[in-house]
Amino acid sequence: MQFSNLPSVDSVLSKQEVAAAAKSFDRNWIVDLVRDELALAREYIRKGGVSPNADDVAEQVCNSIQAAIQTEPRRVINATGVVIHTNLGRAPLSRAAVEASNHAAQGYSNLELDLATGRRGSRQAKLQSLLCQITGAESALVVNNNASALLLGLSALAAGKEVVVSRSEAVEIGGGFRVPDVLRQSGSTLIDVGTTNRTYVRDYDDAVTEKTAVFLKVHSSNFRVEGFTAEVATADLVEVGRNSGVTVLHDVGSGSLLLTENYGMTHEPTPQESIKEGVGLVFFSGDKLLGGPQAGIIVGKKGLVDQLARHPLARAVRIDKMSLASLTATLVHYLKGEAEKEIPVWRMISATALALKKRAKSWQSALEWPSTVDKSRSTVGGGSLPGETLPSWVLSMDCGETGVVQVMRRLRESRTPVVARVEDDRVLLDPRTVLPEEDATLLEALRYALAG
C-alpha cells in the first residue's frame, strides 16, 4: 500500500520549487536527484516506513541542490581551543595575507614578470629575499607543502644513495605520511641508526659508507619521548657531516620563527637556529606555527637550493600564485616585528588568561542561559608542541533537555558552523581560538543550537 502512495517523478518535478530549479540548472541533473530521492523512499518503505508525499520529496530534492552548490570548504568558527586545528584548515591567515591572496586572484599579476626590466622573472624572488633576511640562510625555495619539500630534497640529493636517520626520527607525521615511505619514493635507501630512545654521534659515524649522501634529522613534532633518552644535537650532527663529507638536512616541522618559550611553552626548534648551526637545508611548513598558507619552505646553502630548483620535481610541486602572495604578506609581518599583533596564530597563543576570561564572561552575559565560566587549557595542535597547553577560560554550557549531542549537531548546522568540544556532558567554548570579530556570529549560532 505504501509503495502505491509514492509520488511519480513528474509530480515532484511539477512542484514550484523543483520546476524553478529545473530551469536554473541542468534539467537531467534535477530529474536524477528526484529519482535518487524516490529510490531512498522505497528503501525506507521496505524497512517499515511511511511513504513521503510529493512535497516531502521536493523538499529533499531542494536540500540536495543546496548541498551540491554550497562552496567548500566553508568558513567555520573554531571554539575548540586547538589553535592549529588540522581538520579546520590549520592556521587562519592575517588580514594582510587574505588581501594579498585576493589581489593575486583578481585579474593578472606580475607572477613571473620583472616589472623593472619587462623580462621574465622568478615567482620565488620576493619570497627568497624575505626568507633569507628572516632566517639568515643563503637561499630559499618554496613548494606546495612540507611533504613535497622533503620529497624534493631527497630526490635531488640522495636518489640511488643512502640516507641516515635516527630510528627515533623515522616517524609518521600524520595522515599516513611516513618518513621511510618518502625516502623510498625519492629513490634513496633508509639507513636507521641508534635505538627508539637513544642515538649517539658514534651511530652516525659508524653508518657512513661511500654511498651515504645525507644525514636526515626530523623533529618529533607530534609526540614526545621522555625518560631514558639521548639524541644527537643538530650542531654535533653537522660536525659529523662536515668531517665525513655528508650533507645534513633538518625537517623542523612546524616552522616557528618566534621563540615558543617566551609564551610559557617548551622550546620549538626554529629554522634560524638550524641555519646558524650549519645545516645544509632546513624544511618546514607554512601553515602551522608560521601562521601562513599551506606551503613547504626550504632554506639553506645556495648550492643545495639550486640543485633542488633545477630538479624536474620542483615544477610539479611548485607553489601557486595565491599561496605565494599570502605567504609573502605573512613573512612581511615577521620582518616588521608585528607577528604577535597581526598573525592570528600568534595573537591566539599570546592571549592572556585574564583577557580570555573577560570574553567568556561577555558571552555568558549576552546569552542568559545556564552556564559557567571555568578554568581550562588550550592546546597548540597541528603537530606542534606535543603535550603543551596554555591556560584558558571556557564558557561551559548546560544543554538541559536539548542534550549535548543535539546542541553540538545544531552548532555545526548553523549558518556559520561552530565546532566546540565536550567535557563532562557539557559543551565547552574556548575564546582563545575564536577571532574577536566572530563573537556576534558565535552567539547567534549558540542561540539557534540551544533553542532545540
Quick one: cell of 218?
A: 626530523
- How many whole angstroms separate alpha carbon 192 and alpha carbon 202? 13
- How many whole angstroms separate alpha carbon 176 and alpha carbon 153? 20
Quick one: cell of 290?
A: 608560521
- How many whole angstroms separate alpha carbon 281 and alpha carbon 301? 7
**pLDDT above 90 (res 371):** yes
The fold adopted by the segment(s) 77-86+345-450 is: Aspartate Aminotransferase, domain 1 (3.90.1150)
What number is the average pLDDT over the span 140-151?
95
Report residue 112's pLDDT band, with 50, 70 and 90 as the boundaries.
Answer: very high
Residue percentage of the chain with pLDDT more than 90: 74
Residue percentage of the chain with pLDDT more than 70: 96
**pLDDT above 90 (res 173):** no
**pLDDT above 80 (res 295):** yes
- The per-residue pLDDT for range 298-356, each reduced to its tens digit, is 999 999 999 999 999 999 999 999 999 999 999 999 999 999 999 999 999 999 999 99
Instruction: State the chain's mean pLDDT as an integer.
Output: 92
Query: Which CATH number fits the domain 93-342, given the four candidates 3.40.640.10, 3.40.80.10, 3.50.50.60, 2.160.10.10?
Result: 3.40.640.10
| Domain range annotation of the chain | 3-69, 77-86+345-450, 93-342
Q: Find the Cα–Cα–Cα–Cα dihedral 78, 84, 86, 89, rounded to 10°.
A: 60
| pLDDT-wise least confident of 110-114, 183-187, 265-269, 320-324 | 183-187
Residue of higher predicted confidence among 366 and 180: 366
**pLDDT above 90 (res 452):** no
- Which pTM was predicted? 0.89
pLDDT at residue 70, rounded to an integer: 85
Report residue 401's pLDDT band, with 50, 70 and 90 as the boundaries.
Answer: confident
- The per-residue pLDDT for range 176-200, each reduced to its tens digit, is 667 778 878 888 898 998 887 888 8
**pLDDT above 80 (res 127):** yes
**pLDDT above 90 (res 243):** yes
- The per-residue pLDDT for range 195-235, each reduced to its tens digit, is 878 888 898 888 899 999 999 999 875 556 666 778 889 99
Listed in sequence order, the residues at least 6 apart from 81 whose beta carbon sits closer than 8 Å to its beta carbon are 376, 377, 378, 379, 392, 394, 421, 428, 430, 432, 433
**pLDDT above 60 (res 415):** yes
**pLDDT above 80 (res 174):** no
Listed in sequence order, the residues at least 6 apart from 1 whose beta carbon sits closer than 8 Å to its beta carbon are none
State which H helix or E strand residue 281 sits in. strand 281-285
User: By the 8 A CB rule, do 445 and 411 touch?
Assistant: yes
- Helix 146-158 and helix 179-186: axis angle, to 10°? 40
**CB neighbourhood size of 262 (10 A):** 11
pLDDT at residue 223, rounded to an integer: 58
